[in-house]
């Protein structure tokens, strides 16, 4: 990876972490300015941003370990013996996607029974989708990748 490519990934990850952290902070500090029925959705949004920021921080650290700096400033960043961990994204999605579904249903302001029926179907389906996608992410073979 060239120095320019490395800097681009580094800067995008840094921007994502800062954006997620400060969005979570803003949501928590401003939740009282939202109608009471939507406050839980705001808190869930802040939790989602916090979880995502944590995982982006872990991805950022793993990226730096996987592609250490070369001998000179303009040297290429070569993949080290530290494997880039794809699992961080899946753990993030496994936590945040169901929470985003909860938030979406909360904002719809459906009856309690309708919300529960919807969540009982959507949350397990989302979790299953993410769990079943992970084996496909890990393999380099086309067949299993397409199946998963």
- Could you tell me the pTM of the whole model? 0.83
pLDDT at residue number 29: 96
The structure tokens listed for 116 are 């529960």
pLDDT in tens, 55-88: 999 999 999 999 887 756 667 888 888 888 888 9
pLDDT in tens, 79-106: 888 888 888 999 999 999 999 999 999 8
pLDDT at residue number 55: 95
Q: Which domains does the chain have, with CATH numbers?
A: 3-147 (1.20.1070.10)
DSSP 33: G
Q: Please list, residue by residue across 92-103, b when 16 or more beta carbons sit within 10 angstroms of its beta carbon and e when fewer do.
A: bbbbbbbbebbb
pLDDT surpassing 70 at residue 28: yes
């Amino acid at each position: 990876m060239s120095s320019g490519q490395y800097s681009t990934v580094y800067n995008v990850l840094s921007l994502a972490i800062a954006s997620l952290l400060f969005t979570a902070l803003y949501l928590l500090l401003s939740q009282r300015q939202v109608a009471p029925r939507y406050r839980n959705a705001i808190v869930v949004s802040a939790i989602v941003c916090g979880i995502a920021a944590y995982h982006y921080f872990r991805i950022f650290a793993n990226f730096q370990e996987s592609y250490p700096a070369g001998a000179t400033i303009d040297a290429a960043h070569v993949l080290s013996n530290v494997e880039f961990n794809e699992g961080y994204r899946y753990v993030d999605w496994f936590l945040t996607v169901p929470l985003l579904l909860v938030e979406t249903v909360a904002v719809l302001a459906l009856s309690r029974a309708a919300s529960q029926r919807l969540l009982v179907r959507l949350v397990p389906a989302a979790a299953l989708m993410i769990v079943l996608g992970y084996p496909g992410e890990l393999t380099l073979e086309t067949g299993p990748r397409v199946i998963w």
